[in-house]
Amino acid sequence: MCSHYTALKKQEQLEKYFRARGIPLPPKSDMWPRYAGPFIRRPPEHDSGDEAVPEREAVIGRWGMIAPGTPPEKLAQAEKIATFNAKSETAHKLWTFRLAWQHGRRCIVPAEAIFEPDWRSGKAVATRFSRADGGPLGIAGLWDRYRDAAGQWQESYTMLTINADQDPLFKDYHQAGKEKRMVVILPEGAYEDWLTAPVADTRDFLLPYPADQLVAEPMEKTES
């Protein structure tokens, strides 16, 4: 799973690597659960026939899915739940994610890097994962909308994860005895299909990224 990542810092990067435009990016790129961050989706109006609607758009949403049917009196409770990752094996049937899954509300979360803890030394060492070729990561996710306490629609998103117990790289991370998980990093050539494929094909994209195409860098703390 992933609870910390670095988002892209400039809109030009979204256009260059993901062919997406949208509202200005938030000033903070150091992302933690419940922060507002960018994600890329096929616009909800894409089938309207309006030629002005782009193929992709970048929007800002809450990292941590809030189910669209959440009543105002339960928002505070829902906001405390860890919904920043969604297990791909169960997302289709869980209250928080199932409508997004069933309606094909898939998105791409653009990131410079993700962070995972390495416990092999007996303590958690934050480790930075990035692409070996220097390109950004496109993480598979789901998005949806919910109404805030004022009745206004808000966007939220989550990252999809898969089992990593046998992955050559991610199997070494997280605590011993616990299931190893990893987010789904999409190949660049799969971006368009991920956003447009039929719902029945969703699982075809939920595959591990080649370990030899990623770099893992321990982020050891330095004493001052």
**Model pTM?**
0.93
User: Quick one: pLDDT at residue 1?
Assistant: 76
* Residue 39 domain-assigned (yes or no): yes
pLDDT tier for residue 223 given thresholds of 50, 70 and 90: very low
pLDDT at 119: 87
In-domain check, residue 66: yes
* Full domain range(s) for residue 123: 5-218
Structure tokens given for 70 = 């959440």
Q: Total structural domains in the chain?
A: 1
Residue with the bigger pLDDT between 25 and 210: it is 210
| SS3 at position 214 | strand
Six-digit token string for 105:
């509300």
For residue 48, name the pLDDT band (cuts at 50, 70, 90).
low
Query: Is residue 34 domain-resident?
Result: yes
Q: Does residue 134 form part of some domain?
A: yes
Q: Is residue 224 part of a domain?
A: no
Structure tokens at 2: 């992933």
Flag whether 223 is in a domain.
Answer: no
Give the residue, 205 or 49, on which the prediction is more confident: 205
146, 121, 10, 170: which is closest to 66 by C-alpha?
146
* Token output for 92: 């289709």
pLDDT band for 10, please (50, 70, 90 cuts): confident
pLDDT at residue 222, as a whole number: 45
Looking up residue 186, the CATH number of its domain turns out to be 3.90.1680.10
